[in-house]
Amino acid sequence: MTTDLDLDRARRDTPGIDHVAHLNNAGGALRPSLVTDTVVAHLRREAEIGPYEAEAEAEDRVAAVYDSVARLVGAQRDEIALVQSATAAWNVAFASLSIKPGQRLLTARTEYISNAIGLLQACERSGATLEVIEDDEHGQVDLDRLESRLDDDVALVALTHVPTGGGVVNPAAEVGVLTRKAGVPFLLDACQSVGQLDVDVDDLGCDLLAATGRKFLRGPRGTGFLYASRTVTERLVPPVLGLGAATWTSPSTWEAVPGALRFETWERSIADNLGLGAAADYALGFGLPAIERRVVGLADRLRADLAELPGVTVRDKGVRRSGIVTFTVEGRSADEVRARVAAAGVNVSVTRLSSAQLDFGARGLTEVVRASPHYYTSDEELDRLLAALR
């Protein structure tokens, strides 16, 4: 495959490739050495001079993590909150909205399990109702249907950009045009797109965006971030606040701090946050457009080759497709397939109906095998998966 990305460098920097063909980047990627080294070096420093003292020593680098993450998504540094997962980011943003009885929340079939549960729970608590916008004939959220449902009483549009269990890339930028026109807050789950696609919050038109560190971004586990645009943040106050998120201005008064820091909790792993910053810098070094071209190219090649194998059905839909490739094998359970390819040194994963009730339910699927290459994946590694399946 032709590419403008330095594959040799990407592979040299990824020690995990000596052990396994890792096609589970949608679950958690192999980290580049730089990320591991950054985390370990800070943990050592904490042990040597004290945790607070190590943080003070790294003050400039800790602050620079916000710049790196902001650059990654085209945001300003005061629009970024560092939290411990995409779920934490999504929940703190969602819980900060005021939802009134009778209002409606709109989402799509591909909404992520935790968000869907959060939406359902909020409806039970607030008396709002959840409306699921159908997919169009291509398997992406139907923009005409969405537009027709965007009335004054809609409190939120929640969309998953790239679902966990399918190759579609939802037309988030087109959704953003509609929500801006309607003046409705737009919360985008970009957990699977940040780090694999060229994501820019201005292009997407979202007010709030949640992402994780460990997946395509290749950062440490236990990291994530929220983008909250300056325009919405002033109106959003999280239901749970602590030191760092609010100021205790007198014995009986407090104020939320300006900007996205109000969405953070005070205690965090400084080592992991530094690792997240290193992961963002590392991705920016290759350039997200180059990463996207390579990931999407590898996934397209894999889909084409899988479709040639007898008994294999590729399940991905959508006009635009991501690096997530899903398929089923006739007469074999997804777990059986995963175990077989694992024995050949290839990591893939399984997504089930229980985490995709709306999406898989409508498509009559109970489970799929998921293969998610990354830019550091080689063609030979894809061949290894295909050979194991054969």
Ligand X SMILES: *Cc1c(COP(=O)(O)O)cnc(C)c1O
* Residues near 342 by beta carbon (within 8 Å), at least 6 away in sequence: 348
Judged by the rule CB under 6 A, the positions of this chain that interact with ligand X are 85-87, 112, 160, 163-164, 189, 191-192, 212, 224
Under 8 Å between Cβ of 179 and 185: yes
Question: What is the nearest approach in angstroms of ligand X to the Cβ of residue 212?
Answer: 3
Residue of 231, 214, 215 lying closest to 75 (CA atoms): 231
Under 8 Å between Cβ of 161 and 215: no
CA distances 76 to 71, 92, 264, 322, Å, are: 8, 19, 16, 26
> Identity (one letter) of the amino acid at 279?
A
Question: What is the nearest approach in angstroms of ligand X to the Cβ of residue 80?
Answer: 16
Beta bridge partners of 132: 107
5 or 133, CB closer to ligand X? 133
Burial classification of residue 354, based on how many CB atoms lie within 10 Å of its CB (0-12 exposed, 13-18 middle, 19 or more buried): exposed
Question: What is the nearest approach in angstroms of ligand X to the Cβ of residue 191?
Answer: 3
211 or 256, CB closer to ligand X? 211
User: Helices 270-286 and 33-49, interaxial angle, to 10°?
Assistant: 150
Question: What is the nearest approach in angstroms of ligand X to the Cβ of residue 213?
Answer: 7
Question: What is the nearest approach in angstroms of ligand X to the Cβ of residue 185?
Answer: 18
58 or 80, CB closer to ligand X? 80
179 or 212, CB closer to ligand X? 212
Rg of the chain taking only CA atoms, in angstroms? 21
Q: How far apart are CA 294 and CA 312, in angstroms?
A: 24
54 or 86, CB closer to ligand X? 86
> Identity (one letter) of the amino acid at 258?
P
66 or 225, CB closer to ligand X? 225
Under 8 Å between Cβ of 265 and 225: no
Under 8 Å between Cβ of 370 and 349: yes
70 or 92, CB closer to ligand X? 92
Q: How far apart are CA 346 and CA 338, in angstroms?
A: 9
Question: What is the nearest approach in angstroms of ligand X to the Cβ of residue 217?
Answer: 10
Question: What is the nearest approach in angstroms of ligand X to the Cβ of residue 6?
Answer: 28
